[in-house]
Structure 1
Amino acid sequence: MSKRTPVPDFDVSSLIADCVAKASVDSGSQLVLAYSGGVDSEVLALGLANFARDNPQYRYLLVHVHHGLSSNADAWAAHCQSQAAKYNLPIEIKRVEVKIGPRLSIEAQARNARYEAITSLMAAGDGLLTAHHLDDQLETVLLALKRGLGPKGLSAMGEVQTFDNNKQLLRPLLSISREQIESLAASQAIVHIEDESNQDSKFDRNFLRLEIIPKLKARWSSIAVTASRSAALCAQQQAVIDEEVSKRLPSYIVPVSQGNGTAFELSDLSEQDLNWQLLLLRGYIEYLGFAPLSQVQLEQALYQLLDAKPDAKIELRLGDTLIRRFRGRAYLSSVEAEHAERIAKSVFELDLTSLLSSASVRAGECVKAGNAETRLGFGVSELATLWVCSSAKSDRVRFPNTDEKVSVRFSVAGSTRCSPHNRQKGRELKKLWQEYGIPPWEREKVPFIFYNDVLVCAVGYWIEKAFICRDVSAGLSFKVVASN
Structure 2
Amino acid sequence: MESTGVFKQFASALEKQCGDRIGQGLTVALSGGVDSVVLLHLCQQFSQLHSGIQLEAIYVNHGLSDNADMWQQFCTELCAQLNISFQAVGVSIEAKTRTSLEAQARDARYAALDRHAMASSTLVLGQHADDQVETFFIRLKRGSGLQGLGAMRASTQLNSGRYCVRPLIDLERKDIEAFAQTFGLSHIEDESNKSDEFDRNFLRNQVIPLLTSRFKGFIPSVLRSISLLQAQQSLIDEIAMSDLAVCRRDKNISVVDLAALSELRQSNVVRLWLGNKGVNMPSQKQLGQILNQTLNAKEDAQVNVQLQAGSIKCYNGLMYWVVNSEVTLAEILCTELTSDVELADGRILTLFVGKGVRRPLADEQVTIRFGQLNEKIKPIGKPGRNTVKHWLKEAKVPSWERPSIPMIYYNDALVAVVGFFVNADYKASSGVFWQVQDAE
Would you say same fold, with TM above 0.5? Answer: yes
Residues 33 and 129 in structure 1, CA contact (< 8 A), matched pair in contact too = yes
Q: Which residue of 2 aligns with 1:454?
A: 413
Q: Which residue of 1 aligns with 2:394?
A: 435
Q: Which amino acid aligns with 1:44?
A: L
Question: After superposition, where does 1:39-50 map in structure 2 within 5 Å?
Answer: 39-50=34-45
Q: Give the secondary-structure state (helix, strand or coil) at the position aligned to 2:400.
A: helix
1:35 equivalent to 2:24? Answer no
Q: CA deviation at 1:330?
A: 0.4
Compared CA separation, residues 379 and 271, structure 1 to 2 (3 A):
same
Compared CA separation, residues 405 and 175, structure 1 to 2 (3 A):
closer
Compared CA separation, residues 308 and 219, structure 1 to 2 (3 A):
farther
Q: Give the secondary-structure state (helix, strand or coil) at the position aligned to 2:404.
A: coil
**Which of 9, 16, 19 lines up with 2:13 in the alignment?**
19
Question: After superposition, where does 1:286-301 map in structure 2 within 5 Å?
Answer: 286-301=275-290
Compared CA separation, residues 419 and 159, structure 1 to 2 (3 A):
closer
RMSD of the alignment, in Å? 2.5
1:351 equivalent to 2:335? Answer yes
Distance of 2:333 and 2:70 partners within structure 1: 54
Residues 149 and 294 in structure 1, CA contact (< 8 A), matched pair in contact too = no
Residues 253 and 263 in structure 1, CA contact (< 8 A), matched pair in contact too = yes
Q: Which residue of 2 aligns with 1:358?
A: none
Compared CA separation, residues 103 and 240, structure 1 to 2 (3 A):
closer
Question: After superposition, where does 1:246-257 map in structure 2 within 5 Å?
Answer: 246-255=241-250
Residues 98 and 109 in structure 1, CA contact (< 8 A), matched pair in contact too = yes
- CA deviation vs aligned residue, 1:129-154 (integer Å, no higher than 9, x gap): 22111110111111221232222222
Q: CA deviation at 1:62?
A: 1.4
Could you tell me the TM-score, scaled by structure 2's length? 0.91
Question: After superposition, where does 1:191-230 map in structure 2 within 5 Å?
Answer: 191-230=186-225
Range with bigger deviation, 236-245 or 434-443: 236-245
Question: After superposition, where does 1:10-159 map in structure 2 within 5 Å?
Answer: 11-23=5-17, 24-25=19-20, 28-120=23-115, 121-124=117-120, 126-159=121-154
Range with bigger deviation, 310-319 or 432-441: 310-319
Distance of 1:34 and 1:132 partners within structure 2: 10
Could you tell me the TM-score, scaled by structure 1's length? 0.83
- CA deviation vs aligned residue, 1:269-309 (integer Å, no higher than 9, x gap): 11222111111222212232322223222122111111122
Q: Give the secondary-structure state (helix, strand or coil) at the position aligned to 1:33.
A: strand
Q: Give the secondary-structure state (helix, strand or coil) at the position aligned to 2:368.
A: strand
**Which of 336, 357, 361 lines up with 1:396 in the alignment?**
357
How many pairs were matched up? 438
- CA deviation vs aligned residue, 1:353-385 (integer Å, no higher than 9, x gap): xx6xxxxxxxxxxxxx5xxx351x432231223
Compared CA separation, residues 155 and 48, structure 1 to 2 (3 A):
same
Residues 61 and 68 in structure 2, CA contact (< 8 A), matched pair in contact too = yes
**Which of 293, 297, 310 lines up with 1:308 in the alignment?**
297
Range with bigger deviation, 21-30 or 459-468: 21-30
Consecutive unaligned residues in structure 2, runs of 5 or more: none
Q: Which amino acid aligns with 1:382?
A: R
Bigger Rg over Cα: 1
Compared CA separation, residues 160 and 481, structure 1 to 2 (3 A):
closer
1:385 equivalent to 2:350? Answer yes
Compared CA separation, residues 16 and 467, structure 1 to 2 (3 A):
same
1:277 equivalent to 2:266? Answer yes
Distance of 1:374 and 1:299 partners within structure 2: 43
Distance of 1:192 and 1:333 partners within structure 2: 47
